[in-house]
Amino acid sequence: MKASGLSSELVIKENYRLFVVINFISYLGILAHLAFIILFFWININFLAYFNFFSVSVWLYSYALNRAGKHSKAMIALSLEVILHAVIATYFMGWDSGFHYYFLPFILFLFINHKQSLLSIVAESAAVLSMYLWLLMHTRGSAYQNLIDADVINGFQFMNIGVNFLAIGLLGYALRTSSMRAEWEMEQLASTDSLTGLYNRRKMYEMLEQERIRLQRSEKPFVLVISDIDYFKAINDQYGHECGDYVLREISLLMQSALRKQDIVSRWGGEEFILLLPETDGPGAKTVIETLRKQVASRLFEYETHRFSITMTFGMALFDGSQPIANVIGEADKLLYRGKQQGRNCIMTSEYLNPAF
């Protein structure tokens, strides 16, 4: 999930949550201050109208900082503007105009920046509360407010209530968006192999359990295949471990492209992979894996100045629900090593598969 299509690594690494919040709230802030410019000119309080030109420029500047990944600087600029505008507008328009409401979502805003310590946030919140109470004591029935029509004051109050409700709603939406992204990223980290992008062993066990449950309903077996890159240690020894990583990534991509849409491939560990072929019988599975074996063997790999070929060995076992999945995995693993002993670059099948093998 991305916010407004931005995928900058700088944004993601520094504080994605703060980026999302500032990004959403900036739209509301800019529109609100543009509206205030018109309204303050309309009621002939030109000073506040001109001040809102300054406010719009601060919000635009903060929006640009945020998009550039400078979230903390953007937050400081916005915080100063919100507080200053709330104080000045409340002082001139009076407490009943509702400009003091902007202090309330601001407290929530302070807690979003994870780079601030809790002590700093508490100190800032205390300072904001002190200003809020000062305004309460000094702006009720102010001389400025008495010069403004009561209907205008009420109009501003309703507008400020609306803007603050929208602000709190946007803050909540932004927090929800960033939380969903964080949960998705945690799930990806927990289920994905970081080198190849394939499912890891933990996730494959989950997929196998799901397929076992589905087999109970459909009564259609599935095939497990454990595969291994032949002489992978020699590749690492001769060309280096970075070349080995390159081979693992390329093989992963090749397997994903060669397999069917419903098939699932996972990195099992080291240079081993496990493949799940759902609702597939022996002959169908062998056809799929034979195509994959040929594609790997015919591929010429190039890494820096090195050019070399690779083969893979496969052990296949059928799961029909009559025995635990762990037993079938163990059987496929034994078949894999039998294939290694018999010359590699081959497919070894289980005795439980169709005799046509």
**φ, ψ at 94 (rounded to 5°):** 95, 160
Q: Is the dihedral of CA 12, 13, 18, 22 positive or negative?
A: negative
**Reported confidence tier of residue 101, pLDDT bands at 50, 70, 90:** very high
- Tell me what the mean pLDDT of segment 15-31 comes to: 84
Check pLDDT > 90 for residue 14: no
Q: In order of start, what are the domains of the chain with their CATH numbers?
A: 9-191 (no CATH), 201-349 (3.30.70.270)
Confidence (pLDDT) at 199: 92
Q: Would the pLDDT of 200 be above 50?
A: yes
pLDDT value for 142: 59
* pLDDT > 80? residue 188: no
Question: What confidence score (pLDDT) does residue 146 get?
Answer: 63
| Winning range, highest mean pLDDT, from 1-10, 115-124, 259-268 | 259-268
pLDDT of residue 174 exceeding 80: no
- Using the predicted structure, report yes or no on whether residue 229 has a pLDDT greater than 90: yes
